[in-house]
Amino acid sequence: MSIYDIPVTSIKGVEGSMADYKGKVLIIANTASKCGFTPQYSDLQKLYETYHDQGLEILGFPSNQFNEQEPGSHTEVEEFCKMNYGVTFPLFEKTDVRGPQAHPLFQYLISRAPFQGFDQTNASGKMLHAFLQEKYPEQLFGDSVKWNFTKFIVDREGNVTARFEPTDEPMDMEPTIQSLL
């Protein structure tokens, strides 16, 4: 199976496929509107504006699985992203990204980019690890998505080449993106 075989549904309910993005470099992120990492939308949008004409697509998949930080309707999510962060990259319907009901796209991504741990040299890495250890210790096990704003990079051939955790800032991905464009 290829990433391009996986169906997806836009935030407006339009059914499509990952094949719609064949030949592009992709950043695929699970997102949420009420998370401490929500400001990452801003830098994701900057990356989109900078590199979209060179073949970068950013795909946002809102998820309400982490502390119910994406409670709104699809319309509310889309309006929030546009109004607060100027998001113009594609958004998709709210999606489960971990557990037995995880969307096939995230099952695929996780199977090809396992969890490597949080960067314990930065404050946000230490804080997220400590928070999960205290409140949701089961989430620290395995390769699943650990929290909102986990970001996966896919090359033009559909290979998952990198995984960036929520504590990794979007601009930290820029060298990887540049090398794939």
Strand runs (DSSP E) across the chain, as ranges?
A: 7-9, 15-17, 25-31, 56-62, 151-154, 160-164
Q: Determine the Cα–Cα distance for residues 62 and 90; give it in Å rounded to an integer.
A: 11
> What's the rounded Cα separation, in Å, for the pair 165 and 181?
22
Annotation marks residue 35 as catalytic:
yes
Q: Please state, in angstroms and rounded to a whole number, the distance separating the CA atoms of residues 160 and 66.
A: 24
Do 90 and 56 contact (CB within 8 A), yes or no? no
d(CA 173, CA 169): 7
**Token pair listed for 41:** 């939308």
Longest dimension (CA), the chain: 43
Task: Please spell the DSSP secondary structure of 97-123, one letter per residue.
Answer: -SSTT--HHHHHHHHHS------TTSH
> Of the residues 29, 35, 102, 113, which is catalytic?
35
Residues designated catalytic: 35
